[in-house]
A and B are shown apart, each in its own frame.
Chain A
Amino acid sequence: MTNRPGLNNEIVEAMPHVRRFAYSLTRNAADADDLVQTVIERVLDRGVPDDVELKKWMFRVCRNLWIDGLRAAKTRMDAVPELKDQPADTLSSEKVAADQMMMAKTRQAIDELPDAYREVMTVVGLGGASYKEAAAMLDTPIGTIMSRLGRARAMVAERTGYHD
C-alpha cells in the first residue's frame, strides 16, 4: 500500500466514474457527492495498492463505505431534493426533451430494485467488475451474483416495458 506518483491526477480522472457509481448506489445526488468525497479522502489517507486499477479500487472503497455507513442515512433521501425533483434547467436539454417519460420509468424501476440487485448492476454492469471480482467485493458466491444480475435486469426490463 503506497502513495503512487501521479495519484492526484488519477483520482481526478476517475472521479466522474466514481460519482456515477456512487449515485447508482445512493440514488441521491447529495449523498453521492458526500460518498465520493469520503472515498477520495480515504484513498488519499490510506493509499492504493501498487497493482490495482485505481478506478476499480475506488469503486470497491465506495461500495464498502456505502455499506458501512451511508446506507443508514438513507432517510436523507426524503429531506433533500432528488435529481428527479430538480428543475429541468439543471439537466441537459436533449435528455429532458427526448426521453423524459422513459427515464422516469427507468428511475422508478431502479428505485424499486432491492439493494442487493442494484448493487450487482452497479458493480458489474456500471463498474465493469467480473463476477469473480464482484463476488469478492460483495462477499457473495459467484452463483448468487449471476442469478441476482439476471433477475435484476429482468426486473428493470419488465418495468420499463421491454418484456412486451
Chain B
Amino acid sequence: MTDALKDLDIRLSAYLDGELSPEDMAATEAMIAEDEAVAARLEALAAAQADFDAAASEIDDVPMSAGLSALIDDLEIGAVGNDAPSNVVAFPFWKRAGAFVEKHRAIAAGVVVAAGTMTLTTAIPAQVASVDTLSGTYYADSGLGQVLEVAASGTQNDIGNGATVTPRFTFASDDGFCRVADVSSSRTDGRLVACRAENAWRIAIATFGEAPSTSRGAYRTASAAGSQSVEAFLDAAMSDAPLDLAAEADLISSDWTKQQAETE
C-alpha cells in the first residue's frame, strides 16, 4: 500500500464521517464518481467500520455478569439512584394517579392466598388473564401467602422447588395494605401486587414471563424485567409513599392489625 493510498484512506474515512470541509466533500465526491477504484475503496472502509460495529454487538448475545445484572435490576425497581426514596425498598412509579385500578381491579381481584396455609392454585393466570401483558404460567406454591404475611421487604424467601419470593415494598391502600413482590422459579419470573383483606392476601395484579433458559445463565434483556402493567397499577393504587421498613416491621409483628392511620 502506498502513502498516497493511505492519504486517500484518510480522506475517504473523513468523507464517510462527514468531517471534510464543503470544498473537500465536493472534491471527494467527484473523485468517487470518476474512479471506480476510489468508490470501491470507500465501500471497503465503510464495510470495515460496519464489521467493527458488528463485532462489538456480539456481546449482546452474552449473558450479563451477575453484578451488572443485579445493578440493572436495582435501577429498574428504583432501589438505587436518585429515584429511590430513602429507607424503603422503593419503586419508581408510585405517585401518579390514573384510572388503571378502576378499570382492572374487578377483573383481577378473585384469587386469594390465605396467610400461612392457603394454596395458590394454577388458576391465577385464568383469573388475571384479562390484565395487560400477562404471559406464561404462574408457579403455584403455598408458601407465597406465608412470605407475604411475615417476610420483610428486600429479603429473598425460598418457597420450595427452586422458587423464591422477594417482597419489594409495602404500601397502604384504600382498603388496607398491599405488597409488591417478585417471584422467580426455573419456569417463570414475575412481579405481583397482593393486598391483604379479611386475613388473606389477594392477588390484585401479576405479570409473569418465561424464565431465562439455563444456557443463557442470568441473561435477560432490560425490557423483560419491566412489568408495565404492575407499574401502571401502582401509579393508580398508591396515593402515598411506600412504608419504611420500620413501619412495615411493626405491621408484620402485629399480624397486620394496625390501622392505616397509625402507620402514617
Which residues in chain B, 1-34, are within 8 Å of chain A measured between CB atoms?
Answer: 1, 6, 9-14, 17, 19
Collect the chain B residues with CB atoms within 8 Å of residue A89's CB: 215
**Known contacts A8-B78, A150-B13, A153-B49, A86 near B54 by CB under 8 Å:** no
Q: Are B48 and A86 in contact (CB under 8 A)?
A: no
| Chain B nearest CB, measured from A35 CB (Å) | 10
**Known contacts A12-B72, A110-B52, A149-B13, A90 near B65 by CB under 8 Å:** no
Collect the chain B residues with CB atoms within 8 Å of residue A130's CB: 17, 19
Collect the chain B residues with CB atoms within 8 Å of residue A34's CB: 65, 67-68
Per-residue CB contact flags for chain B residues 51-65 toward chain A (1 = under 8 Å, else 0) read: 111111111111111
Most interface-central of B10, B45, B58, B216 (chain A CB within 10 A) = B58
Collect the chain B residues with CB atoms within 8 Å of residue A147's CB: 10
In this assembly, does A70 line the interface, its C-beta being within 8 Å of a C-beta of chain B? no
In this assembly, does B141 line the interface, its C-beta being within 8 Å of a C-beta of chain A? no
Q: Are A32 and B59 in contact (CB under 8 A)?
A: yes
| Chain A nearest CB, measured from B82 CB (Å) | 4
Collect the chain A residues with CB atoms within 8 Å of residue B63's CB: 90
In this assembly, does B92 line the interface, its C-beta being within 8 Å of a C-beta of chain A? yes
* Complex CA–CA separation, A158 to B49 (angstroms): 12
* Complex CA–CA separation, A131 to B14 (angstroms): 9
Q: Which of A36, A44, A107 contacts B68 (CB 8 A)?
A: A36
Q: Are B9 and A154 in contact (CB under 8 A)?
A: yes
**Known contacts A11-B75, A41-B71, A147-B10, A154 near B48 by CB under 8 Å:** yes
**Known contacts A16-B222, A86-B62, A92-B61, A146 near B52 by CB under 8 Å:** no
Per-residue CB contact flags for chain A residues 73-101 toward chain B (1 = under 8 Å, else 0) read: 00000000001001001111001000000
In this assembly, does B47 line the interface, its C-beta being within 8 Å of a C-beta of chain A? yes
In this assembly, does B158 line the interface, its C-beta being within 8 Å of a C-beta of chain A? no
Q: Are B58 and A95 in contact (CB under 8 A)?
A: yes
**Known contacts A29-B62, A90-B62, A150-B13, A20 near B83 by CB under 8 Å:** no
Q: Which of A8, A125, A162 contacts B53 (CB 8 A)?
A: A125
How many residues of A are counted as interface, with CB atoms below 8 angstroms from the partner's CB atoms? 60
Main secondary structure of the interface of A (DSSP, over half): helix
Q: Which of B44, B49, B61, B83 contacts A90 (CB 8 A)?
A: B61
* Complex CA–CA separation, A153 to B10 (angstroms): 9
Give the total number of A-B pairs whose CB atoms are below 8 A apart: 159
Collect the chain B residues with CB atoms within 8 Å of residue A32's CB: 59
| Chain B nearest CB, measured from A36 CB (Å) | 6
In this assembly, does B76 line the interface, its C-beta being within 8 Å of a C-beta of chain A? yes
Q: Are B65 and A30 in contact (CB under 8 A)?
A: yes
Collect the chain A residues with CB atoms within 8 Å of residue B71's CB: 37, 40-41
* Complex CA–CA separation, A83 to B56 (angstroms): 11
Q: Are B44 and A163 in contact (CB under 8 A)?
A: yes
Q: Are A37 and B59 in contact (CB under 8 A)?
A: no
Per-residue CB contact flags for chain A residues 142-158 toward chain B (1 = under 8 Å, else 0) read: 00001101110110111
In this assembly, does B80 line the interface, its C-beta being within 8 Å of a C-beta of chain A? yes
In this assembly, does B160 line the interface, its C-beta being within 8 Å of a C-beta of chain A? no
Residue of B nearest to A86 (CB): B62
**Known contacts A126-B53, A158-B1, A151 near B59 by CB under 8 Å:** no
16 contacts between A and B (CB under 8 A): A7-B82, A8-B82, A15-B72, A20-B59, A34-B65, A34-B67, A37-B68, A37-B71, A41-B71, A95-B61, A103-B54, A125-B49, A146-B13, A150-B45, A151-B6, A153-B9
**Chain A interface (Cβ < 8 Å from any Cβ of B):** 3-9, 11-13, 15-16, 19-21, 23-24, 29-30, 32-34, 36-37, 40-41, 44, 83, 86, 89-92, 95, 102-103, 106-107, 109-110, 121-122, 124-126, 130-131, 146-147, 149-151, 153-154, 156-158, 160, 162-163
- Having A15-B222, A95-B58, one finds 8 other A-B pairs with CB under 8 Å, namely A7-B83, A16-B60, A30-B65, A103-B54, A110-B55, A146-B10, A151-B6, A151-B10
